[in-house]
Structures are given as C-alpha cells and as structure tokens.
Structure 1
C-alpha cells in the first residue's frame, strides 16, 4: 500500500503573519462604549414607549417603536461577538 505524504507542520511565514495579526488586533477605544450604549438605548427606547403609554418616542408609528428598540439593542448585542 502506498504511503501518504507527510503533513507540513509549519505554515509559510506570509500566512503566519497575516493570521496572527488579524487575531491580535486591538479594538478601537470607542467600540465598548458604543456597544453598551446601543444596548442601553434600545432598552430605554422600549421602556419609554411602555411608560408613556405609547405616546413617546414616536407616537404615529405605534408598535413599531418596540421593533426599533429591539433593533437598536440587537446591534449592540451583535457587537459583542467582536469584543475581546
């Protein structure tokens, strides 16, 4: 039976530097405040809608205010996937 070729243990230098650089990249300073700010803004948007009995934040769109609030909060939650 023929033998298989041995595997290469080390990646070429060009691939090592690219993959290590993208993994170790620091987040910008604004990333965490924006992430937490969006989550809180979405929560405050929904709370304002319920506390004001549908008069605020935007009175003419009704229940879409909940969708907007959850959408804003979800953008913040999706940003947590990039948080290191």
Structure 2
C-alpha cells in the first residue's frame, strides 16, 4: 500500500553558510597595477604597429612584440579577477 504524504520524509531546510562580518578588501596596489599592465600592454602593441621600425631593438623582436603586449593585457585580466 502506498505511503501517505504525511509519512514521507521532509526535506531539510536550506541554511546558507555563515558570512564573515568584514567585507573582503583588495590590496591598495592591485588597482594601479591592473591598470598599468593593461595600458602598457596596449601601448606596446600600438607603438610596435605605428613606429616599430623607428624604435631601437623593437624591430629585432619581430612578432614577439605581440607576445609582450598581450602578456601585459593577460596579467591585467588575471589581476582583475582578484579585485573585490
């Protein structure tokens, strides 16, 4: 014979995990470093395309200039994930 609804086991009520009283705060250096790496990466790529032939040693690096510029941008994105 099937069980009635009152006999079924009731689900436990969800209780959220306890939260800390202090909000997380980012270090003071994080935002300036994030902006600096992003801007330097973009500027490096822009200078490479606009005046790469006139800047000493930049022409010798060739396409490695793109790796250097995108590395700065990637570091900025990684730092932005740690910002609260």
TM-score (structure 1 length as normaliser): 0.68
Tell me, in whole angstroms, the C-alpha distance in 2 between the residues paired with 1:24 and 1:83: 12
Q: 1:53 aligns to what? A: 52
Q: How does 1:1-84 map to 2 (within 5 A)?
A: 1=3, 2-7=8-13, 9=15, 11=17, 16=18, 19-20=19-20, 24-54=23-53, 56=55, 58-84=58-84
Give the number of the structure with larger relative contact order, counting CA–CA contacts within 8 Å between residues 6 or more apart. Answer: 2
Whichever structure has more helix as a proportion of its residues is: 1
Q: Residue 67 of structure 1: CA displacement?
A: 1.8
Specify the structure having the higher radius of gyration (Cα): 2
- What is the number of residues matched between the two proteins? 77
Query: What value does the CA root-mean-square deviation take over the aligned residues?
Result: 2.6
Which whole-Å deviations, capped at 9, do the CAs of 1:4-46 have from their partners, x for residues lacking one?
A: 35335365xxxx2xx536x822111100000000001101111
TM-score (structure 2 length as normaliser): 0.68
Stretches of structure 2 lacking an aligned partner (at least 5 in a row): none
Stretches of structure 1 lacking an aligned partner (at least 5 in a row): none
